[in-house]
Amino acid sequence: MELIIKSYANRIGTLQFNNEGKLNCLSHTLMDELMRGLHELEQEGAHVIVLRAKPGVKVWSAGHDINELPEPRRDPLSYGDPLETLLRNIQDCPVPVIAMVEGTVWGGACDMCCSCDMVIAAEGSTFAMTPAKIGIPYNASGLIHFVHHIGLNKAKEMFFTARPTTVHEAWNNGFVNHEVSKEELETFTYDLAGKIGKNAPLAVRAIKAQFRLLTRGALIDAETAERIQAIRRKVYDSADYAEGIKSFKEKRPPVFQGR
């Protein structure tokens, strides 16, 4: 693995992003390595896994690799998209996964934190959900994630404004378990991971599995699911989605026409 550094000690696995040059953006390769790392660490006997970036990063992860977003007219966040698969892999990982965050977190990387079982973030961290900046309709499972974690109004504000949420706001919203100083981030996180690692692994796994099943969101009928898909398709078929990607690549602000 090149874009992820995997390590294991005292029942705690660690997966560290290793692509600062591209701001640890979630490329298909990096996400494949993350999924492989989760599986391997769980097989090696990890009781808990920490996701992290290198100490001192300014950008924890810049989110989905925009250059790998599908061309317009294709769903950018379909069920089989590597990002969606990664999020489910984290949620379904039999052992708790902790996001240890410093710096700024963008788009799909925020949803990745949401998919973790806990988030511990250093002072000065921020979290921004940016699909509206790029012209992406997001998707039902992702939106439900945020509603569950931070409530409907805060989730709407995060998505509609696309502005970075401070770690203090995120802690207040329940998105972050602990806000700690940069100096104590690593010690605090691994102490907490150690507490989980000492508990009965079967019980911890069973409790995580029950949380996963109990929070899968309200059942929706087939017609509602189809209506959601129709609403989303109008957006990823739009000129605005094409403009969102094009403007990013041309390093200029997007000019959305509402069509």
- Rounded-to-integer distance, Cα 126 and Cα 116, Å: 17
Site residues for ligand LCV, window 47-86 (CB under 6 A)?
Answer: 59, 62-67, 76
Strand partners for 80: none
The nearest distance, CB 61 to ligand LCV, in angstroms, is 8
Q: What is the arrangement of strands in the sheet containing 118-122, beginning at the earlier edge strand? A: 4-9, 12-17, 48-52, 97-101, 118-122, 178-180
Residue span binding ligand LCV (CB under 6 A) among the ranges 22-30, 143-151, 202-210, 233-241: 22-30
- Rounded-to-integer distance, Cα 50 and Cα 119, Å: 10
Strand-strand pairing, 165-166 and 126-128: antiparallel
Residue 80 bears catalytic tag: no
- Select from 41, 90, 100, 134 the one that contacts ligand LCV (CB under 6 A): 134
Rounded to the nearest angstrom, the gap between the alpha carbon of residue 154 and the centroid of all alpha carbons in its chain is: 17
* 246 lies in the site for ligand LCV, by CB under 6 A: no
Nearer of residues 47 and 64 to ligand LCV, judged by Cβ: 64
Nearer of residues 106 and 175 to ligand LCV, judged by Cβ: 106
- Rounded-to-integer distance, Cα 127 and Cα 251, Å: 21
84 closest CA partner among 136, 151, 18 = 136
CA dihedral 207, 212, 215, 216 (to 10 degrees): -160
The nearest distance, CB 79 to ligand LCV, in angstroms, is 15
Residue span binding ligand LCV (CB under 6 A) among the ranges 3-11, 34-42, 125-133, 185-193: 125-133
Site residues for ligand LCV, window 83-122 (CB under 6 A)?
Answer: 106-108
Helix, strand, coil percentages in the chain from 3-state DSSP, rounded to 5: 50, 15, 35
Rounded to the nearest angstrom, the gap between the alpha carbon of residue 90 and the centroid of all alpha carbons in its chain is: 9
C-beta nearest to ligand LCV: residue: 107
3-state secondary structure at position 160: helix
Q: Of these residues, 103, 108, 135, 142, which one is catalytic?
A: 108
Residue 197 bears catalytic tag: no
Residue 108 bears catalytic tag: yes
Residue span binding ligand LCV (CB under 6 A) among the ranges 12-20, 132-140, 194-202, 230-238: 132-140
The nearest distance, CB 5 to ligand LCV, in angstroms, is 20
Nearer of residues 14 and 19 to ligand LCV, judged by Cβ: 19
Residue span binding ligand LCV (CB under 6 A) among the ranges 39-47, 131-139, 180-188, 222-230: 131-139
* 130 lies in the site for ligand LCV, by CB under 6 A: yes
- Rounded-to-integer distance, Cα 19 and Cα 29, Å: 11
Residues in contact with ligand LCV by the rule CB under 6 A: 22-23, 25, 59, 62-67, 76, 106-108, 129-131, 133-134, 136, 138
Residues labelled as active-site residues: 64, 108, 138
